[in-house]
Homo-oligomer: A and B are copies of this chain.
């Protein structure tokens, strides 16, 4: 991506949650400064005025700093119950950031704070786009070939019906086209077997509907095949998606922990592991979906991006970059004009 926007030369205004994530406030500030150098973006720094200003100064941002500080006196902690915290802390950086989006003062909001609180704020304060039943949490997950694929819903809604899953597919296809630059996205349904007719009622009905839709539907994909990267978008209900995501994370972590424990027990292995360290870290990084930028909520009436709590500045800056790209691709507009039209007019098939 260069400094020149795709659709227009305008600059985008991205609100950044300075108080979100394990590394706050220094990591989000470093990320925002980095993003402002790389993309046509003005950062709205959301957090306690004094603290944000001090951090910007500390990082040599100059005075006045690039963008604008938007004061938010409160912070929602990772341990807070999301909805209750949101009600109690109406001046939290998350609530203020989402409010900026709602009031049109920011084009997008990026946070590494509590997923639950960001999701609750998005649902309560922005609502969904006209025609969208429920928002979905989406993320680009890694594949062996490095291309990655978009998976949704990863847990925004615990319940789903076929109508919702088809909407997820439509929104995912648009995201893949506009943001991931896949001109003709292939969409698959997560399932417990690859043949048609597999799965429970929800998945069998969704399969039928996707097969009749204007989407380029690749059929069912099993969770074991996700890393092979044969499709661009994988659709599932939020319960199943969240379990699958956490199962993959858990298995990956278990690999590393066992490897570490085994290596520590043997001197020769310790030496070898030292030599292999860059390889191991590289593999780990390639499998870490946080590296791909951020998770985001599709279907909300506003752009909201959620980075991993443990994100470093590079990961959050990537999240801001993805937000810019979503702005440039007019993601909300595209979803708005396509939802409910599963016959494919606006879905990019043969575009």
Contact = CB atoms under 8 A, between A and B. Distances in A.
Given A258-B283, A259-B283, 11 more contacts: A144-B257, A200-B237, A223-B243, A223-B250, A227-B253, A239-B240, A240-B243, A243-B243, A251-B251, A262-B283, A263-B276
Give the interface size bracket for A toward B: 35 or more
B275 A247 contact: no
Contact of A251 (B200, B248, B257, B286): B248
Nearest to A226: B250
Given A268-B275, A269-B275, A250 B250 contact: no
A48 B255 CA distance: 42
A141 to B, nearest CB: 10
Complex copy number for this chain:
2
B192 A254 contact: no
Interface string A258-285: 1101110010110111111011101100
A243 to B, nearest CB: 5
Nearest to A249: B224
Contact of A247 (B159, B247, B268, B286): B247
Contact of A258 (B247, B269, B286): B286
Contacts of A252: 251, 255
